[in-house]
Structure 1
Amino acid sequence: MSEIRMTGEIRTDYDCEITGIPAERWGEAVFKPGDEEIVLEVSVEKDIIVALMVGEDTAWKGTLEGLKKLLQQGIEKK
C-alpha cells in the first residue's frame, strides 16, 4: 500500500464532516456555487504546491510559501 503523506477534511454548516481523507501525492476540493466552480488543489509530491482556480480563466499556482506571501501582501495593503 502507498504511503499516506497528507489527509484532507471537508466541513459544512449542515454539520456534515468528512475527515481523514488519505492522499499520497495530491488532493482536490471542488465547490460549485451556482454556475461557478472553485477548486483548491494541494500537491505534496516534492514541495508543497497549491493551486487555486475560479472558473476556467482565473488561476494561481505556486508553493505554499508563495501563497503565504501572497496572502500577507494582500492583508497588508488594506
Structure 2
Amino acid sequence: MGEIRMTGEIRTDYDCEATGLPAERWGEAVFKVGDEELVLEVSVEENVIVAIMAGEDAVWKGTLDGLKQLLKSEIKAR
C-alpha cells in the first residue's frame, strides 16, 4: 500500500456510516436510485479532479476549482 492522501466517508439517514476509508489515488461513491446510477469520483493523483456521473450520458469532469466555479455560477444563494 502507498501513502494515504485522502479519506472518504458515507453516511445515511439510517444511522449507517463508513468513515476513514483510505485512498492513495482515487475514490468513488455510487448511489443507485431505481435503475439509475449516480457516481461521484475524486482523484488526487496530481491535481484534485472531480467527476460526477448521472447515468451514462450525463457526465461532468474537471478540477475541484472548476467544480466550485460551476456551482457558484449556477446556484445563487438565497
RMSD: 1.4
CA deviations over 1:54-78 (Å, ceiling 9, x no partner) = 00010000000000000000113x8
* 1:56 maps to 2:56: yes
In the TM superposition, structure 1's runs of 4+ consecutive aligned residues that sit over 4 Å from their partners are none
- Hey, what does 1:40 align to over in structure 2? 40
User: In the alignment, residue 66 of structure 1 is paired with which amino acid?
Assistant: G
In 2, the alpha carbon distance for the partners of 1:65 and 1:13 equals 29
Structure 1: gaps spanning 5 or more residues: none
In 2, the alpha carbon distance for the partners of 1:66 and 1:10 equals 23
In 1, the alpha carbon distance for the partners of 2:17 and 2:49 equals 25
CA deviations over 1:7-66 (Å, ceiling 9, x no partner) = 000000000010000000000000001010000000000000000000001000000000
In 1, the alpha carbon distance for the partners of 2:56 and 2:6 equals 27
Aligned length: 78
Structure 2: gaps spanning 5 or more residues: none
